Amino acid sequence: MEYSQAILKLKQFKRLGINLGLQRINDMLQILGNPEEDFPIVHIGGTNGKGSTVAMLESMLREAGYRVGVFSSPHLLSHRERFVINGENIAEKKFVLLFTEVLETLAEVQQDTGEIPTEFEILTAMAFLYFAREKVDIALIEVGLGGDFDSTNVMKKPLLSIITNVSFDHQYCLGNTLGEIAEKKSGIIKQGCPVVTASKEEEVLQVIRQKAQNLQAPLWEVWREAIWEGQEETRAGQYFTVQTSQHNYGRFFLPMRGAHQLENAVTAILAGEVLQKQGWRMGTQTIKDGLAKVKWSGRLELIGQNPLFVLDGAHNPAGFRALAQWLAKKRQEVRRIILVIGMLDDKDGARSVCLIEPLVEMVIITRPDSERTERWRELKDCFQGEGSLFCIENLEEAIKRAQEEARAEDLVLVTGSLHLMGKAREILQN
């Protein structure tokens, strides 16, 4: 089987949609020899900031000399981005071999459970098998959806669980209140295993604290354990200071923009301190140097200038709120902002776009590359203003229209879905 054939076959399982539960993935892993038990794991959940926090902690661990595996989602351009060891995507040949091996378990799993595993379950099994075979020192495993019944939630005793934050997203399967969503997210907390969370809403913290207490899991709350302050922001990133209950770190440089990324950085720093207590080499300079080298695309990423293009994968109200805070400061430096936006059908477009609409002068609605975008044009109904608004389905044509409309002193923002980011980068860098 060629890589392209494997991807086509994998997409057939995507049609099964979301089917939360652990029986299918547990059956698959048992057939494969339970590879998830062969290496230490940090499990990362939360609504927003999971990927950024993973990238920061990965960079710190790699700076310490460890061989680090990362399983994350979604990808920007290639499925290979979901399986990374020390910054390198999995090779096509290894992807095909793992995929083929996992496929061989499906008949037995279906016979046992009466159900076919989902695409994400197949990818999760491949990730555990890959990291075990490649003998990583540690793996950072990002939750796909929720926590308690997400297919990544199969490890019995992770080194550490991280819940970045809890806000509204995927209410159709996670709940309609923050407390209900927190209940699902806190499902990754395990008996006696430390937990770090950046959540600050009392409704959320009550759930996390109770779950941690019930499971005798030591809990570190970022907003109690640390004080940080943002300083100047440059095109390359931003400077900030951090003091935790354990250490006064002084000044850091982070090559990412936005105040919300400082919260993610402090979460990663506290996670590093917890790992250090467990014997992992995570000294002060290692943490600083690791953060200074972090790379994570599609999050307030700046491309080109005159005009400046900004790519940001905000896709829910909390993400758009963080984006709006950054955009409001940037608004003073540019003549006008042109928005290229596309969102998935199951996202809260109305509550999201109202946060940035007052900051933009022109809107171009486009269609993300996903099967969950049948109603992409309906996003136009979420905009209440009388400014220029266009619907252009093809992303390349949408970006071309923005380029034609923009002057050198303008800013063009591409946002609404991570499914737009990879293709947008490719278009703008060619």
pLDDT in tens, 323-342: 999 999 999 899 999 999 99
H/E segment holding residue 389: strand 388-391
Q: How confident is the model at residue 168 (pLDDT cuts 50, 70, 90)?
A: confident
Q: How confident is the model at residue 29 (pLDDT cuts 50, 70, 90)?
A: very high
Distance CA 169, CA 348 (A): 8
190 lies in the same domain as 338: no
Mind giving me the DSSP string for 6-30?
A: HHHHHHHHHTT-----SHHHHHHHH
What's the angle, vertex CA 30, arms to CA 25 and CA 36, rounded to 5? 75
104 lies in the same domain as 174: yes
197 lies in the same domain as 231: yes
Distance CA 281, CA 254 (A): 21
The pLDDT value recorded for residue 82 is 97
Q: What sign does the dihedral 339-340-344-345 (CA atoms) show?
A: positive
Structure token pair of residue 183: 């209940």
Last residue of a domain, one of 265, 292, 319: 292
Q: How confident is the model at residue 172 (pLDDT cuts 50, 70, 90)?
A: confident
Domain count of the chain? Answer: 2
Predicted confidence (pLDDT) per residue in 83-101, tens digit: 999 999 999 999 999 999 9
Buried-state track 200-211, b at ≥16 Cβ within 10 A, e below 16: eeeebbebbbeb
C-alpha pair distances (Å), 48 with each of 134, 164, 225 = 29, 7, 20
Is the distance from CB of 315 to CB of 418 less than 8 angstroms? yes
Backbone angles phi, psi at 231, to 5 degrees: -115, -135
Residue 200 has pLDDT above 90, yes or no: yes
Predicted confidence (pLDDT) per residue in 45-70, tens digit: 999 999 999 999 999 999 999 999 99
233 lies in the same domain as 318: no
**C-beta neighbour count of 148 within 10 angstroms:** 17
The pLDDT value recorded for residue 196 is 98
CATH code at position 375: 3.90.190.20
344 lies in the same domain as 400: yes
Last residue of a domain, one of 292, 326, 350: 292
Residue 15 has pLDDT above 90, yes or no: no
CATH code at position 214: 3.40.1190.10
Q: What is the DSSP letter of 152?
A: T
The pLDDT value recorded for residue 386 is 72
Predicted confidence (pLDDT) per residue in 114-138, tens digit: 999 999 999 999 999 999 999 999 9
Last residue of a domain, one of 271, 292, 313: 292
Q: What distance lies between CA 284 and its chain's CA centroid?
A: 25
305 lies in the same domain as 284: no
Is the distance from CB of 261 to CB of 251 less than 8 angstroms? no
270 lies in the same domain as 168: yes
Distance CA 207, CA 180 (A): 9
Q: What is the mean pLDDT of residues 309-328?
A: 96
318 lies in the same domain as 206: no
Pairing of strands 362-365, 41-45: unpaired
282 lies in the same domain as 351: no
The pLDDT value recorded for residue 17 is 73
Helix 259-277 crosses helix 317-330 at what angle (to 10 degrees)? 120
Secondary structure (3-state) at 99 = helix
> Which residue is listed with tokens 């994350």?
72
278 lies in the same domain as 321: no
Q: How confident is the model at residue 20 (pLDDT cuts 50, 70, 90)?
A: confident
Residue 42 has pLDDT above 80, yes or no: yes
Residue 372 has pLDDT above 90, yes or no: no
Of 3-12, 166-175, 191-200, 352-361, which gets the smallest average pLDDT? 166-175
Range of the domain at 425: 301-429
* Global model pTM greater than 0.75: yes
Q: CA neighbours within 13 Å on the CB side: how many for 115?
A: 18
Distance CA 185, CA 162 (A): 10
The pLDDT value recorded for residue 144 is 95
284 lies in the same domain as 307: no
Cα–Cα nearest to 159, from 276, 45, 263, 50: 276
Q: How confident is the model at residue 14 (pLDDT cuts 50, 70, 90)?
A: confident
Distance CA 351, CA 357 (A): 11
